[in-house]
Amino acid sequence: MINETLWNQWYQLLLSQWGLDWRFAFIVSAVQAGLETYGYEPVTVTSGYRSPARQKALQARWDANDRTGLVVRPATRSWHMQGLAVDVSTRSQSFNLFRQLMESIPYVRWGGRFKKADPVHFDYPIGRLKSIDQLLAA
């Protein structure tokens, strides 16, 4: 059984600090708390929700060849802008276990399998993927 207190702590953190959509926060927190319940380190989260303005700024930075901390060009349509994506450190001790658990959950995708591989990235593509401009206009 997953420790419910740990699950709840992760859930609150992923909502408030990382701005994840509650449905994705529920999944990621279960996996993190599951790792901890069985004595493994949780993985380090490095990115969650990004506002459309922030996503646009990251694209501009990439295009200006300032690519520190970026693996691929930030997409014009990104689940990060809907709180349905998370990036984690691949150097985390439990990364492979985290990846396996995440990939066992229906609809969750690992960016390491994308054509332009983005191994730090996991998302939960539910609903409609919107562009920066669509979100800015909303």
Binding footprint of Zn ion on the chain (CB under 5 A): 85, 87, 121
Residue 54 tokens, joined: 């922030």
Residue 63 to residue 45: CA distance in whole angstroms: 25
Q: Reduced to 3 states, what is the DSSP secondary structure of residue 33?
A: helix
Residue type, 126: I
Please say which residue, 6 or 21, places its beta carbon nearer to Zn ion.
21
Q: Which residue is nearest to Zn ion (CB)?
A: 121
> Residue 97 in contact with residue 38, Cβ under 8 Å?
no
Strand order in the sheet with 45-47: 45-47, 85-88, 121-123, 109-110
CB of 107 to Zn ion, least distance (A): 16
CB of 85 to Zn ion, least distance (A): 5
Please say which residue, 121 or 130, places its beta carbon nearer to Zn ion.
121
Please say which residue, 2 or 71, places its beta carbon nearer to Zn ion.
71
Please say which residue, 20 or 85, places its beta carbon nearer to Zn ion.
85
CB of 109 to Zn ion, least distance (A): 11
Residue type, 117: A
CB of 35 to Zn ion, least distance (A): 20
